[in-house]
Amino acid sequence: MSLTKSIHITSDSASKRIDKFLLDSLGSLQTSQWTSLSRSYIQRLIRNGRVTVTGKSVKAGYRLKAGDEIHIEIPQPEPSRVKPEPITLDIVYEDESVIIVNKPAGMVVHPAAGNYSGTLVSALLYHCRDKYNSVTTSLSGIGGIERPGIVHRLDKDTSGLLMVAKDDFTHQHLSRQLKDRTIVRKYVALVKGNTKEDSGRIEMPIGRHVSDRKRMSTRTKRGRWAITEFTVMERFGEYTLLKLRLRTGRTHQIRVHLSSIGYPVAGDRVYGRGFTMRKVIAHGYPVFHRHMLHAQTLGFIHPKSGRYLEFTSRLPDDMEGVLNFLRKQ
């Protein structure tokens, strides 16, 4: 059965965007049915015609007028079409609210074209199932039926730490921390080239590439501002090992930013300008099935306890193998 609600707009709320107004007003009700609504979910409801103003559909940017009558309908959640799969997970931390997973390179986070099985979501659905009736009972639904529990993503070939929410309150709280840029996310990357500086800060907008919609670029018509900080950890002549900290979280941010300043992530077939590690391959080392990028550190405020938690994972074997090889040259 759907949840419904009607709101009468007074002069105090006139001129506000409807999506922002609903996010603030529904959240202030402090009821379990409504506090889990994110702005993106509200915008999806508006696009799907489940939010009307005086009986008419509107857009998310509609400015409210005194006397408007908003009607909202929240449909019952659909059962997920993603099937649970018994895939082993490297779980760094888990409690009743959150799971921290150390994702291996090569694993897709959620189903998409060409990757409908073997995903992190499939593994999570199996891990969180009720052992007696095989029904998943503890993953948030804010991300949608294809992305239960997923607060943020890592690229398929990026390894490392990723957080998963078990309930909607936790999901919304962690998403807000991401938006407020208070979550600590540090990466390690091996890049092509010897950086001139020992540390630096890259500040450039990132958006869709003007001619290739599957790629991101700093040369874009509608970019969103992005900030990446880096520090040199180790130099290898032709390559540099960097520690990076994300101050924003744009799609492919680290890979795009590093490529834009002339130091693409080693093994990056999309943003690496055709680069291959010929020296390593020539010595017979089986490497570069993926780009050398690892999400090493993840820190956040626990949504329910209020404590700051921080986790660190060691570099995966493939990256350690490459580094050990370079150290011997």
Query: Do 50 and 73 touch, CB atoms closer than 8 A?
Result: yes
Task: Please identify which of the residues 19, 155, 167, 268 carries the catalytic annotation.
Answer: 155
Query: Do 301 and 307 touch, CB atoms closer than 8 A?
Result: yes
Cα separation of 325 and 164, whole Å?
A: 35
Give Cα separations from 104 to 33, 90, 91, 107, 293 (angstroms). 35, 8, 11, 6, 11
Cα separation of 261 and 250, whole Å?
A: 17
Residue carrying structure tokens 């943003």: 271
Cα separation of 135 and 84, whole Å?
A: 9
Phi and psi at 156, nearest 5°, equal -50, -45
Burial class of residue 134 (count of CB atoms within 10 Å of its CB; 0-12, 13-18, 19+)? exposed
Is 95 tagged catalytic?
Answer: no
**Amino acid identity at 94:** E
Query: Do 98 and 170 touch, CB atoms closer than 8 A?
Result: yes
Judged by phi (left if over 0) then psi (alpha if -120 to 50, else beta), residue 170 lies in alpha
Query: Do 322 and 285 touch, CB atoms closer than 8 A?
Result: yes
Catalytic residues: 155
